[in-house]
Amino acid sequence: MPEWLAEWISKDRLVGSKFRISKRYLRQSKRIQQISVEESEDGSLIASHYVVHSPKYGRYNVRFDNGVYICNCPFFKHRRICSHILGVSQKTGVWPTKESIFDES
């Protein structure tokens, strides 16, 4: 996990809570299902699609495309990160970039 993200998780109570929820998804491996993955010739991730099953709220789609994660859950709309993205990131080892979350434009 990138240092900036670990620091954010430790300082922001809501994001910290989402990280704890993501660990529950990982413990129950059937909750995170890979739909598609596209890799470059050198094996780096170009794009992916996962479905994360939330026991309380249903299914959410997590997509990764050219370095940017997107989730269709309501929390993502406000923070640009969520438990679903954190779960997929832990599973794949591909983390969101700080720039993709904190757009400076």
pLDDT, tens digit, 9 for 90 and up, residues 35-45: 999 999 998 89
Within-domain flag for 21? yes
The DSSP code sequence of 37-79 is EEE-TTS-EEEEEEEEEETTTEEEEEEEETTEEEE-SHHHHHH
Number of domains in the chain: 1
pLDDT at 104: 58
Query: What is the arithmetic mean of pLDDT over 73-96?
Result: 94
Q: How confident is the model at residue 29 (pLDDT cuts 50, 70, 90)?
A: confident
Domain membership flag for residue 75: yes
SS3 21: helix
Q: What is the pTM of this model?
A: 0.92
Backbone angles phi, psi at 47, to 5 degrees: -150, 150
Q: Is residue 13 domain-resident? A: yes
3-state secondary structure of 103: coil
Is residue 105, in this structure, part of any structural domain at all?
Answer: no
Residue range of the domain that includes 37? 3-98
Q: Is residue 19 part of a domain?
A: yes
